[in-house]
Amino acid sequence: MMSNTIFMHPATYFILGAILMPFANRLKLQKVLLLAVPLLAFYQIHHLPASFGVCHFLGFELHFGRVDKLTYVFLHVFTLMALIGSIYGLHVKESGQHMAAFLYVAGSLGTTLCGDYLTLFIFWELMAFASVFLVWYRRRKRSIEAGYRYLLVHTTGGLILLAGIFLRYQNIHDLTFTRILAEGATTADYLIMIGFMLNAAVPPIHAWLPDAYPEATVTGAVYMCAFTTKTAVYVLARGFPGFTALAILGAIMTVYGVAYAVIENDARRILAYHIVSQVGYMVCGVGIGTAMAVNGACAHAYAHILYKALLFMGVGAVLEATGKTKLNELGGLYKYMPWSLVFTVIGGIAISGFPLTSGFISKSMIIAAAGADHRIFIMLMLSLAAVGTFLSVGIKLPYFVWFGPNEGVKEAKEVGWNMQLGMFIAAFMCIFLGFYPEYLYRMLPYPVTWHPYTMHHLSETFQLLGFTGLGFYLMVKKLKPEPKMNLDLDWFYRKGARVFMWVASKPVGAANDWVGEVYRTVGYRFTMAVARAMSWFDWEGIDWVLDGSAKGVVKGGDQLRTFQTGKLQHYIGGAAVALFIVLIIVVLL
């Protein structure tokens, strides 16, 4: 264990790094700082005590550090991803983007380590407000608008979470962040769960994700695909394992996200919808709640962060080189960007669950856990989503970006060395975990007795992937991307926002104008009448009393002045007479 003299909360490294970033930029040390901070944090998480950072504030006990195996597996992948993201973004000179990314990571690490709901809420909101700048820094009109919608949705989710925290404290007078049993869950507990579910992009409160992530900066999208939804998976696994509603909603997520990804045209929107689908596996695993299912959810979160970041990095490289992400505008890039092609294909086969990749050793654990728990329909939905994943990301996306017939880009060049290095590390981890799954399994919360490389599992996987590939070959013309917009559930809050703006500007605005007119005609006159009355009282009432008193004093002084003759003998005589009168009074009394 590390000495307390050099111990530091991992989130503190990123907060200090964000503060120092502008100064490091001026001193030409920004790249050094970008690498040093995540490396220090990655080293630190291996030496954390089981409990630390307990303090009291306003009568509440705050617990900034609680470490167990569930915490550790998420800390490990979060700090590793922060390092990969920093390497990928080394070429970005703008300090603001790096500051937002570091604060975003700090919020995620703080949420993962917290032991109470108040600390959780503080870091939870830090994530929301830091990550929105990764959208705004793209500085396009669509990005600004998407960022505002993103912030409004997450602010609403934060308020729901805070309401649940307040009600829970009112019920039990304890803010400790512990597991909640489904049998005794209250309204407060369900409000907290809804707040977590919003960040996990559970339908119908998911549309903020495909709305905002495609509009983020090239490096910002890499960070965003890794932290918000997986931090939500962690808090759900910590607080709500075994809730059947999560199992059902998670299964729906897997199919819902895939369905939209299959028909999408924008590459980054395809990947965004696949976040909804893949996080659905994790939410479903948490909802099933068995040791195997929770292990599968954690393993898949770890694997997903790496291969999804790899895919966003590959598509980001295409955007960096060509300025385009729509499939109907791309094609033939294999000639110009061969390394980005290789890395993107590795990400595509990993997310599809190919043997010897990270997706194969994690996703199948959740499907097997559903079968072991006799949730056959859920197991079938998860398997169907796996087919759609390979169809849309494993085949469709790389085919139309790299090999498609529509060569909308005639010339491009490979991205910089740092972006390729970031993709290489993520791709290496995808393959490494596929060959050596015990590296990940040892970090999971419960002992792992399941083995992915069985003949039954391999045969099943090859059959699903093989028939999916055949289906794409037969339907390739039907799957040709078209430049169209697909409506999602965000249509309701977009339209709802317009209705709200109309109500605010028309009926409410008219009522405000009417109240203002009433004030001008009635209230203003009444106020002026009161002011005139007060002015009269000031001049006539108060001045009469004060001036009258002053005049009385002056008059009395004039009368006393007549007794002042200026002769000493008169004063002595007067004093003698006064003394004589006093003596007579004393004798008589």
- The SS3 assignment for 405 reads coil
CA–CA gap between residue 398 and residue 341 (Å, rounded):
8
Contacts of 589 (CB under 8 A, 6+ apart): none
In DSSP notation, 22-84 reads HHHHHTT-HHHHHHHHHHHHHHHGGG--SEEEEEEETTEEEEEEE--HHHHHHHHHHHHHHHH
Q: How many angstroms from the chain centroid is the CA of residue 94?
A: 22
CA–CA gap between residue 338 and residue 324 (Å, rounded):
17
Question: To 5 degrees, how large is the angle CA 372–CA 376–CA 382?
Answer: 95
Residue where the block lists tokens 């078209």: 482
CA quadruple 236, 237, 243, 247: dihedral sign: positive
Q: Are 298 and 74 in contact (CB under 8 A)?
A: yes
CA–CA gap between residue 277 and residue 196 (Å, rounded):
17
- The pair phi, psi for residue 437, each rounded to 5°, is -65, -20
pTM to 2 decimal places? 0.84
For residue 427, give the amino acid letter: A
- Spans of all domains in the chain: 1-239, 241-488, 489-535
> Among 227, 166, 239, 152, which residue's Cα sits nearest to residue 196?
239
pLDDT computed for residue 391 by the predictor: 86
Contacts 24+ apart (CB under 8 A), 52-57: 52/7, 52/9, 53/9, 53/113, 54/115
pLDDT digit string (tens) for the chain, length 589 residues: 334 445 789 999 999 999 999 999 999 999 999 999 999 999 999 999 999 988 888 778 899 999 999 999 999 999 999 999 999 999 999 999 999 999 999 999 999 999 999 999 999 999 999 999 999 999 999 999 999 999 999 999 999 999 999 999 999 999 999 999 999 899 999 999 999 999 999 999 999 999 999 999 999 999 999 999 999 999 999 999 999 999 999 999 999 999 999 889 999 999 999 999 999 999 999 999 999 999 999 999 999 999 999 999 999 999 999 988 898 888 888 888 999 999 999 999 999 999 999 999 999 999 999 999 999 999 999 999 988 888 888 888 888 888 877 666 667 889 999 999 999 999 999 999 999 999 999 999 999 988 999 988 888 888 888 888 887 777 777 777 777 777 777 777 676 666 766 776 778 777 777 777 776 677 667 777 777 776 666 666 655 555 555 555 556 555 545 555 555 455 555 555 555 565 555 445 5
